[in-house]
Amino acid sequence: MRRAFNLPDVGEGLTDGEILQWLVAVGDEVTVNQPLCEVETAKAAVELPSPFAGRVAELLHEAGSTVDVGTPIITIDTGGDAAPAAPERTANLVGYGPRTTEARRRPRRTGAAEAPVSAPTERAPLLATVPDLDTKPVRHGGLEMGRAAEAHAAEAAAVQAPPSRAVRHGTGRPRPLAKPPVRKLARTRGVDLDLLTGSGPGGVITRADVEAAAAAPAATAPAEAPAAGEGEQRIPVTGVRKHTAAAMVASAFTAPHVTEFLTVDVTRSMKLRDRLAARPEFAGVKVSPLLLVAKALLLAVGRYPMVNSRWEEATREIVVPGHVNLGIAAATPRGLLVPNVKGAERLSLPDLARALAELTETARAGRTSPADMGGGTITITNVGVFGVDTGTPILNPGESAILAFGTVRPMPWVHKGRVRPRQVTTLALSFDHRVVDGELGSRFLAEIGAVLHDPAAALAL
């Protein structure tokens, strides 16, 4: 009996996801909850666990394919004498609620005389044999490679057709042979696999081939490439980048943004950071300037809770939550992520430091879950780590304020009537003017600046 596993909604209302890599192969034995593949959605990269135990029968999509939620991505032989005649209920991702979508198996082609499939988007299956993959039939474009694939293989062998580049894709050129991790590496490094000659068995492109091409891109250019458009690169916008682009456009043209700036002498805060780092409570934890900025913001929210709120368009209300889910914008190889620390206002300074460290490490490793990015109430973006003084940040959708923290640098500053070198930074606060008026925004920003200028002022809050 074969059971299909459909791509589940692993986030909040997601519509599709990109299969980054398969963690199993056809013929592998799998157990319940064993990771099957890694999928990138609009919010995060997650591993999908198997809801069934059995043997992998088919991988229905290549790594790199974007698949709609509810579409079958793998079939697993769970045992039994025959496949069920009726369509199966959509398999659920362990830990998520049930879905009502039904999955139907794709029709199997059994010979050339069989009537063609009526769906206009499907094509006759073609076979590529990859020598280092145990010569198993490889499936392309979401088509099933069953007996028809074996027939194609026999025909190809009979006419001595070269197997290394038998599959063709939309450009009409032979599809380059490479394993999913190598294809992912090529996309990351901006290398066109069509321009490479594989050094692996049977012409398979290896990681070394991609790395060499990335190091010397001129060597991979075709000898007769046209001059027009030379050097042009096209990057598909998918997953996190696609979601971020849509969210930023919606935010910029929905919420009326106002940005205010404040330059602050933070010399005392930097000295406090050094003293805190030496305390046993912070052993093994990085005490960064961002930690002190986050604490200053949380203290300011305590005095001005309206800044930590959102505009509810459906009811035309301002919603002020009773907690602070502090978002930290993190630049990752997959794009900008904004995971948040839940209930940050309740954490002690050492616990806040650990939460921030764990949040950023998880984001950079690409393991941030959709739950970690949902429900944020206010955000900090640390542009100072790039040596940037400040900026005009765009609100994270559903929030009313975002604070940009610039680099801390020594600058001449008037201190006690004399010009002295001091540690100075610039803060920029963008806020939704429907929720936060100019006075409230100014007082909130000034409060943050006052705490950073004189951390002892926090004792009075």
Query: Read out DSSP for 129-141?
Result: --GGGTTPPPP-T
In this prediction, residue 80 has a pLDDT band, given cuts at 50, 70 and 90, of: low
pLDDT reported for residue 216? 65
Higher pLDDT, 228 or 133: 228
Least-confidence region, from 149-163, 228-242, 339-353: 149-163
pLDDT reported for residue 304? 96
Phi, psi of 224 (to 5 degrees): -110, 35
Q: Which residue has the tokens 């059994």?
A: 110
**Burial grade of 344 (CB within 10 A; 0-12, 13-18, 19 or more):** buried
pLDDT reported for residue 427? 98
* Strand-strand pairing, 378-382 and 326-332: parallel
Q: How many CA atoms lie within 13 A of 65 on its CB side?
A: 19
pLDDT reported for residue 289? 95
Q: Are the C-beta atoms of 289 and 384 separated by less than 8 Å? A: yes
- pLDDT higher than 90, residue 179: no
Using left for φ > 0, alpha for ψ between -120 and 50, and beta otherwise, residue 344 falls in alpha
pLDDT reported for residue 213? 82
pLDDT reported for residue 218? 46
Give the gyration radius of the chain's Cα atoms. Answer: 28
Q: Are the C-beta atoms of 329 and 380 separated by less than 8 Å? A: yes
pLDDT reported for residue 368? 83
Helix 349-364 × helix 289-303 angle, to 10°: 120
pLDDT reported for residue 417? 94
In this prediction, residue 371 has a pLDDT band, given cuts at 50, 70 and 90, of: confident
Show the tokens assigned to 69.
């939620």
End-to-end CA distance of the chain: 66
Q: Mapping DSSP to helix (H, G, I), strand (E, B) and coil, where does residue 169 land?
A: coil
Pick the CATH number of 2-167 from 2.40.50.100, 3.40.50.300, 2.40.160.10, 2.130.10.10: 2.40.50.100
Show the tokens assigned to 128.
């590529």
- pLDDT higher than 80, residue 49: yes
In this prediction, residue 165 has a pLDDT band, given cuts at 50, 70 and 90, of: very low
Q: Which residue has the tokens 């598909």?
A: 236
Indicate yes or no: pTM above 0.85.
no
Q: Which residues, 6 or more positions from 158, have their beta carbon under 8 angstroms from its beta carbon? A: none
Q: Which residue has the tokens 């010569």?
A: 135
pLDDT reported for residue 177? 78
pLDDT reported for residue 314? 87
Q: Which residues, 6 or more positions from 389, have their beta carbon under 8 angstroms from its beta carbon? A: 406, 407, 426
The per-residue DSSP string of 202-241 comes to: GG-B-HHHHHHHHH-GGGGS-TT--STTTT-------HHH
- pLDDT higher than 90, residue 241: no
- CATH superfamily of the 240-460 domain: Chloramphenicol acetyltransferase-like domain (3.30.559.10)
What's the mean per-residue pLDDT of the chain? 77
Higher pLDDT, 362 or 295: 295
pLDDT reported for residue 9? 81
Most confident of 60-69, 311-320, 370-379, 418-427: 418-427
Q: Tell me the mean pLDDT in the region 352-381.
A: 89
Please identify every residue annotated as catalytic.
Answer: 433
- pLDDT higher than 80, residue 68: yes
In this prediction, residue 424 has a pLDDT band, given cuts at 50, 70 and 90, of: very high
- Scanning 280-400, the segments in alpha helix (DSSP H) are 289-303, 349-364, 370-373
pLDDT reported for residue 93? 43
**Domain residue spans of the chain:** 2-167, 176-218, 240-460
Higher pLDDT, 120 or 43: 43
pLDDT tens digits, 306-361: 999 999 988 889 999 999 999 999 887 777 889 999 999 999 999 999 999 999 88
Q: What is the DSSP letter of 78?
A: -
pLDDT reported for residue 1? 85
Q: Are the C-beta atoms of 430 and 392 separated by less than 8 Å? A: yes
pLDDT tens digits, 113-144: 444 444 433 333 333 333 343 334 333 333 33
Q: Which CATH class is domain 176-218?
A: few secondary structures
Higher pLDDT, 20 or 97: 20
In this prediction, residue 183 has a pLDDT band, given cuts at 50, 70 and 90, of: confident
Show the tokens assigned to 377.
């109430």
